[in-house]
Amino acid sequence: MSLSLKAAPNANGDDVSKDDSAPAPAPTDPNAKAVHDVVNSEIGVATLLNRLKQSIASAKEFAIFLKKRSTLEEEHSNGLKKLCRLTTESIRRPEHRHGTFLHSYEEVTSIHERMADNGAQFASSLHQMHEDLLELASNMERGRKHWKATGLAAEQRVADTEAAMRKSKSKYDGLAEDYDRARTGDRQSGKIFGLKGPKSAAQHEEDLLKKVQAADADYSSKVQTAQAQRAELWSKLRPEAVKALQDLIKECDSALTLQMQKFASFNEKLLLSNGLNISPLKGAEAGSQPRSLREVVYAIDNEKDLSNYVSSFANKVPARTPEIKYERNAVLLPTSQPSAAPPPQRQSDPPASYSSRQGPPQASGSSQSPHQSHMSQPFNQGPPPALQQHERSFSQGPPVQQYNNGSMNTSLNSPMAGPPRAPSQGAPYNSSSIVSNGPPQLSTLPFQTAQAPQPSFSQPQQQTAPVAYSQPPPPGPATANLPPLKPVFGLSLEQLFERDGSAVPMVVYQCIQGVDLFGLEVEGIYRLSGTQSHVNKIKAMFDNDASRVDFRDPANFFHDVNSVAGLLKQFFRDLPDPLLTSEHYAGFIEAAKSDDDIVRRDSLHAIINSLPDPNYATLRALTLHLHRVTEASSANRMNTSNLAIVFGPTLMGANTGPNIQDAGWQVRVIDTILRNTYQIFDDD
């Protein structure tokens, strides 16, 4: 393989080497003299041979790299093509979505197929470059062997001739010295014995003279031969070998550099082609341009696909069935027999302190019961200014009010104060005495007062017979198929508050109670998932009638506290609007981005204070509960960071849209709230 080493044309296409009007200044090499001395010395050929060997080895190494890279690209291209083919065949099956989704999905696979074609072309180019480099290395190797034999042989011949010359000179000098001693008389006394007998001094001197003359002629001949060979080496053989080796080195290095430049260019071309496949440039004719990958994906219309799919079954709609009505069995109807035991307070009814949204109780001078008194007044009637306790402060919450007069005896406990005391026996259930029985109710919240009677939405007004507290809760396994009489999951907190009168939904309260009683020391609580069948059965119990569920008995949740934790997380995930609300989402994220801990805490506190009342009350109860979980982190391994990771997307919403990109900020919001629990919420 031969590459031209001429000067490249300039930007205008003119050959710079032929431009005599403005010759380019030749670059000066500071090592030019040293290079000249080395290459014209005895070690010049050997040095260039070693340098050429390095160039050949480098070319072979890069060729191996290109081969491996080509193999990888080819495997990736073939795998991508196979994946696109299988995906295209699978996505067209009837069990998958069609419509805009199918059209966009096919465009996505088409884009990937074009990327695979680019990769295959790139792999083919790399393989060709690999073969070119191997051919180059083979040619360079043959040239190196030739000039190694030629150049080193010439150097060796000159070295051998000079060695013979030095040996002849040494012999010549020795004979001349012996002759000089014999001629000057500096010799030993007596006769000299030769092969043919004793010699005289004259004969010995004559023999030495002949030997000296013969040695002189031999030495002179060897000197002439050495001079001729050295002159030929310096003038012809060495320069030829040096120039040939330098040309081979330059050719090999230039070819290797050119292949590396082509490799860089092919990489740029591959990335540019893939980039244009993913996001084509927009030309003047927008209609003829293919769509980008982003445009293809964003063209999916979920609403349209759903509407088209459902409407395709319009001709298969069956006739409307008669209306379904609920008829209560006569066995469960209330009786009028008196009993000394007070009725348990329904957990769907709020405690006496949950009346900040109600007006003052009307005077009940007649025989009207507290429930009738409550139902006779508007539910959303605001309290007078003197009774309003809805303000939320950065310093502390409102004080807890306890009423000890003769008309009310209500115990206000914190949300997780544990099971309540046993109910007093024989206390009548009338309008002048109220005793808390049944499962413990939620504590007083900052925006709730204790002056309005408890609302009741499930008991009829004529029900006066008490129910014994010792009535066992419904067994768990038998409640798997209960009808959803009072659905809880999927409703907003405001809807649950207006229906049940409880600012904190009963499902949240019962789950918090169950985890507080039985799950604080369970390792991985809220991180480990419970049994899905248990979760579904417990969910059906709450959707049937949440007031009949009591998690103080672990049998009611199948002794699986992880299912209780999973149910609580599912309730928050199923809310139409997240607990921290979509309205304040941007404010929470912006506050979380503050690096100052105090500023971030106070900013979140201000936004929390502006939440709707049910959201604020539920968040307060959940935060105080999670703080108790972190206090037992030595046993359950769930510290503040772990809980924030679990509840960040759950409480702020991370199903669709850009919320997925804010996962880190969501976790930081919950982490800051949990670390500042008692600075944001009062602990009454």
Q: Looking at 278, 310, 327, which one is the last position of a domain?
A: 278
Phi-psi region of 524 (alpha: psi -120 to 50; beta: other; left: phi over 0): left
Distance CA 588, CA 648 (A): 11
Nearest Cα neighbor of 451 from 504, 395, 374 is 374
Q: Which of 208, 162, 210 is nearest to 183 (CA)?
A: 208
Domain count, the chain: 2
Burial 408-425, CB ≥16 within 10 A → b, else e: bbbebbebbeeeeeebee
Q: Give the model's pLDDT for residue 658.
A: 58
State how far the Cα of 293 lies from the Cα of 295, in Å rounded to an integer: 5
Instruction: Tell whether the model's pLDDT for residue 321 goes beyond 70.
Output: yes
What's the gap between Cα 674 and its chain centre? 26
The dihedral through the CA atoms of 259, 260, 261, 262 has a sign that is: positive
pLDDT, position 198: 62
What's the whole-number mean pLDDT along residues 580-598? 94
pTM higher than 0.75, yes or no? no
Give a yes or no: residue 26 inside a domain. Answer: no
Per-residue exposure over 552-585, b if at least 16 CB sit within 10 Å of its own CB, e if not: bebebbbebbbbbbbbbbbbbeebeebbbbeebb
Give the pLDDT of residue 59.
94
User: Concatenated DSSP letters for 8-30?
Assistant: PP-TTS--GGG--SSPPPPPPPT
N- to C-terminal Cα distance for the chain? 89
pLDDT of residue 179: 84
> Which domain-ending residue is among 278, 311, 326?
278
Report, as an integer, the average pLDDT of 403-425.
Answer: 37
- Would the CA dihedral through 40, 42, 48, 54 be positive or negative? negative
Residue with tokens 């409703």: 491
| Amino acid, single-letter form, for residue 237 | L
- Whether 459 is in a domain gets the answer no
Q: Is residue 635 part of a domain?
A: yes
Residue 518 lies in a domain: yes
Residues 6+ apart with CB under 8 A from 469: 341, 342, 344, 423, 437, 438
**Closest CA relative to residue 125, chosen from 264, 278, 277:** 264
Burial tier of 376 (Cβ tally within 10 Å: 0-12, 13-18, 19+): exposed
Of 222, 256, 278, the residue that ends a domain is 278
- Average pLDDT (574-600) is 94
Would you list the DSSP string of 500-560? Answer: H--SS-HHHHHHHHHHHHHTTTSTTTTTS---HHHHHHHHHHHHHHGGG--TTSGGGGTT-
Q: pLDDT by residue (tens digit) across 495-521?
A: 999 999 999 999 999 999 999 999 999
Tell me what percent of the chain is helix, strand and coil, each rounded to the nearest 5: 60, 0, 40
Between 441 and 497, residue with greater pLDDT: 497
Q: Mind giving me the DSSP string for 56-81?
A: HHHHHHHHHHHHHHHHHHHHHHHHHH
Is a pLDDT exceeding 50 seen at residue 362?
Answer: no
For 524-561, write each residue's pLDDT tens digit. 999 998 899 999 999 999 999 999 999 999 999 999 99
The pLDDT value given to residue 350: 38
Higher-confidence position of 202 and 346: 202
**Neighbouring residues of 429: CB distance < 8 A, sequence distance ≥ 6:** 342, 343, 435, 464, 466
Residues 67-114 pLDDT 10s: 999 999 999 999 999 999 999 889 888 888 888 999 999 999 999 999
pLDDT at 186: 62
Q: Check if the beta carbon of residue 172 is closer than 8 Å to that of residue 223.
A: no
| Nearest one of 284, 304, 281 to 100, comparing CA atoms | 304
Over the stretch 610-635, which tens digit does the pLDDT of each residue have?
999 999 999 999 999 999 999 999 99
Tell me, what CATH number does 641's domain have?
Answer: 1.10.555.10
Tens digit of each residue's pLDDT (9 = 90 or more) over 119-155: 999 999 999 999 999 999 999 999 999 888 888 888 8
Q: What is the CATH number of the domain that holds 258?
A: 1.20.1270.60
Mean residue pLDDT of the chain comes to 76
- Angle (nearest 5°) at CA 426 between 423 and 427: 70
Place of tokens 């070690």: 43
Q: What is the pLDDT of residue 111?
A: 92
In a domain, 273, yes or no: yes
Picking from 634, 637, 674, 670, the residue whose alpha carbon sits closest to that of residue 524 is: 637
Whether 598 has a pLDDT exceeding 80, the answer reads yes
Q: Residue 288 — pLDDT band, cuts 50, 70, 90?
A: low
**What is the 8-class DSSP label of residue 279?**
S
- What confidence tier does 457 reach under pLDDT thresholds 50, 70, 90? very low
Residue 431 is predicted with a pLDDT of 34
Question: Number of H helices and number of E strands within the chain?
Answer: 19, 2
Is 460 part of any domain? no
100 Cβ contact partners less than 8 Å away, ≥ 6 residues apart: 299, 300, 301, 304, 305
Note whether residue 555 is domain-resident. Answer: yes
Strands (E), 335-444: none
User: b/e for 213-243, b at 16 or more Cβ within 10 A?
Assistant: eebeebbeebeeebeebbeebeeebbeebbe
Task: Confirm if 669 and 594 have CB atoms less than 8 A apart.
Answer: no
User: Cβ-count burial of 141 within 10 angstroms (0-12 exposed, 13-18 middle, 19+ buried)?
Assistant: middle
pLDDT at 287: 59
* Residue 594 structural domain: 493-679
Q: Is the pLDDT of residue 347 over 50?
A: no
pLDDT of 192? 54
Sign of the CA dihedral with 329 first, then 334, 337, and 338 last: positive
Structure-token pair, residue 660:
């997925």
In degrees, rounded to 5, the angle at the alpha carbon of residue 257 between the alpha carbons of residues 255 and 260 is 110
Can you tell me the mean pLDDT for 59-73?
94
Does residue 21 belong to any structural domain of this protein? no
User: Could you give the percent of the chain with pLDDT greater than 70?
Assistant: 70
> If we measure between CA atoms, which residue out of 619, 621, 622 comes closest to residue 608?
619
DSSP element (H, E) containing 657 = none
The pLDDT value given to residue 654? 65
Give me the pLDDT at residue 416, please: 39
- Split at pLDDT 50, 70, 90, the class of 199 is low
Least confident of 200-204, 295-299, 358-362: 358-362
Q: 4-8, 70-74, 411-415: which range is least confident on average?
A: 411-415
Sign of torsion, CA 633 588 658 95?
positive
